[in-house]
Amino acid sequence: MGLNELTIHAAHELLVKREISSTELTKTCLDRIEEIDDDLKAFVSVTKEKALKQALVVDKQKSFENETLAGIPMQLKDLICTKGVRTTCSSRMLENFIPPYNATVTDRLFDRGAVLLGKGNMDEFAMGSSTENSAFFTTRNPWNLGCVPGGSSGGSAAAVSARETFYSLGSDTGGSIRQPASLCGVVALKPTYGLVSRYGLIAFASSLDQIGPLTRDVKDSAIVMNGIAGYDPRDSTSIKGTCPDYTASLGKGLEDLKFGVPKEYFTEGTEPGVKKALNAAIKVLEGLGAHLEECSLPSTKYALACYYIIAPSECSANLARYDGVKYGHSQRLAEDMWESMELTRKEGFGAEVKRRIMLGTYALSSGYYDAYYLKAQRVRTIIRSEMNDAFQKYDALITPTSPTVAFNLGAKTADPVQMYLSDICTIPANISGIPSISIPCGFDRGLPIGMQIMGPVLSEVELLNIAFSYEQATDWHNIGPSL
């Protein structure tokens, strides 16, 4: 077994005993990237020299005992700002953008001695569910190179699954870390809205965006959360107060916990293989002492429409900054400033980004604002209250993460609405601001299936315990792709 196949916690133990060095871990990951990334395409850029330098510094200066993330190599989705390291959003618009500062999460990880291997490919500006909207290339699924890895954090999920990196940070606006984690067979946690600072995260839809970890097991997810969660005055949505130790409750068990299984999450489009795996997972949870029952969240059917008004509206406002003046692509072969701006945005944005900006501009425009954006915000309140009511009765909700396993490249590119349906199970958590974790729960036709566990606001400790209990009772997290 190569060092790159270890979990964070296993590698950490070896670092503490000084049986291995961060430099060795880093080199193993870099070798793995060199070996397979021409086929996998999970990285937009690999920061080899920086990684080796960081590893050397950690080996010399850090004590590993008190910091689990020290010396552990990681990847960041390419919309998390890294000072001096190109951050592209997988867009022509930011192809040569070099941030002058670090995102808060980048700083926090660097302070803990994390080693940056490079930046993860994604759908352009995080808009998409397959990485096929990347302006550069499509990432492949490590379980089958003919399939997509999911998206938008597809590069993150593929890199973690293929053992190129120990973990990655992605961003989740409507399922963008959970859906690819499900399709690639890894663990992803979308924290409560406001728990992880978005300072330095290139914005897509600000009332929905949240950063979270993609890891190979649940304990690693808790470890990375310990490294990134917590109040940041530079993000005005940041939640005040101290964070718990996210590893503390792992192993507490499921005795006396009550879970709801909302029937609306098993839609017509849910594949039989996914249903079967979820039913088997429910049996496992019952065997562990939890009480499960079917429940109903009738407003779920409005979530997709609600999301596809709110997200494009906020995206149209956020992406108005790309005007070719201060940074990013700029087309100056124009008569005046307005023409320059139109050409800059025409050339700099891909088709899906343009579609969403136009949709959002329409929804916010004079005469339509009340009918679309305001209406969607009101519907959001209905969905959110229904979800909160469910948590009066249940400790958590159990659903599939994605209605399907990974699909073939090109299968859903022709019809945007088909692609949007990939996120039908993940969107409600963003709308409600609640935490949600996706963990592997089986396979169909050799492709991974994910189970989603949602809990009330700030229930990360409990969610991680539930996920951990299931994981330890099963073997899915130990099975990697043969790539």
Partner 1 sequence: MFSREDVEHISTLCRIGISEKDIEPYRIQLSHILNQFEVLQELDTENIEPTTNPVSVGTVMRDDEVQGSLTKEDVLHNAPVRDGDYFRIKVVLEE
306 binds partner 1 (CB under 8 A): yes
457 binds partner 1 (CB under 8 A): yes
431 binds partner 1 (CB under 8 A): yes
Which residue lies nearer to partner 1 by CB, 248 or 358?
358
Contact flags string 78-117 toward partner 1, x per CB under 8 A: ------------------xxx-xx----------------
Which residue lies nearer to partner 1 by CB, 168 or 432?
432
Largest pairwise CA distance in the chain: 71
Residue 95 C-beta: closest distance to partner 1, Å: 11
Residue 182 C-beta: closest distance to partner 1, Å: 22
Binders of partner 1 in range 121-180 (CB under 8 A) = none
Q: Are 83 and 41 in contact, with CB atoms under 8 Å apart?
A: no
- Write out the two tokens for 111: 């302070």
DSSP per-residue string spanning 321-370: G-SSSSSS-----SSSHHHHHHHHHHHHS-HHHHHHHHHHHHHHSTTTTI
Q: Of 345, 350, 391, 394, which lies in the binding site for partner 1, with binding defined by CB under 8 A?
A: 345
How far is residue 317 from each of residues 53, 146, 312, measured CA to CA in Å?
Answer: 39, 36, 9
The values of phi and psi at residue 444, to 5°, are -135, 130
Which among 21, 27, 41, 77 is annotated as catalytic?
77
Q: Of 305, 411, 413, 472, which lies in the binding site for partner 1, with binding defined by CB under 8 A?
A: 305
Q: Are 65 and 16 in contact, with CB atoms under 8 Å apart?
A: yes
Reply yes or no on whether 77 is catalytic.
Answer: yes
Residue 279 C-beta: closest distance to partner 1, Å: 29
Compute how many other C-beta atoms are within 10 angstroms of the C-beta atom of residue 346.
10
Residue 357 C-beta: closest distance to partner 1, Å: 5
372 binds partner 1 (CB under 8 A): yes
Closest listed residue to residue 455, CA positions, set 440, 469, 434? 434
Residue 351 C-beta: closest distance to partner 1, Å: 9
Q: Which stretch binds partner 1 (CB under 8 A): 182-190, 275-283, 327-335, 474-482?
A: 327-335
238 binds partner 1 (CB under 8 A): yes
Q: Of 287, 289, 337, 446, which lies in the binding site for partner 1, with binding defined by CB under 8 A?
A: 337
23 binds partner 1 (CB under 8 A): no
**Dihedral-angle region of residue 456 (phi above 0 means left; psi in -120 to 50 means alpha; beta otherwise):** beta
Reply yes or no on whether 249 is catalytic.
Answer: no
Binders of partner 1 in range 195-214 (CB under 8 A) = 207
Reply yes or no on whether 283 is catalytic.
Answer: no
Residues paired with residue 75 on neighbouring β-strands, in sequence order: 118, 168
Q: Are 36 and 42 in contact, with CB atoms under 8 Å apart?
A: no
Residues paired with residue 73 on neighbouring β-strands, in sequence order: 115
Which residue lies nearer to partner 1 by CB, 293 or 339?
339
Query: How far does Cα 269 stand from its chain's mean position?
Result: 23
How far is residue 482 from each of residues 163, 353, 446, measured CA to CA in Å?
Answer: 11, 34, 11
Residue 420 C-beta: closest distance to partner 1, Å: 8
472 binds partner 1 (CB under 8 A): no
- Write out the two tokens for 292: 């499960």
Question: Which residues carry out catalysis?
Answer: 77, 152, 176
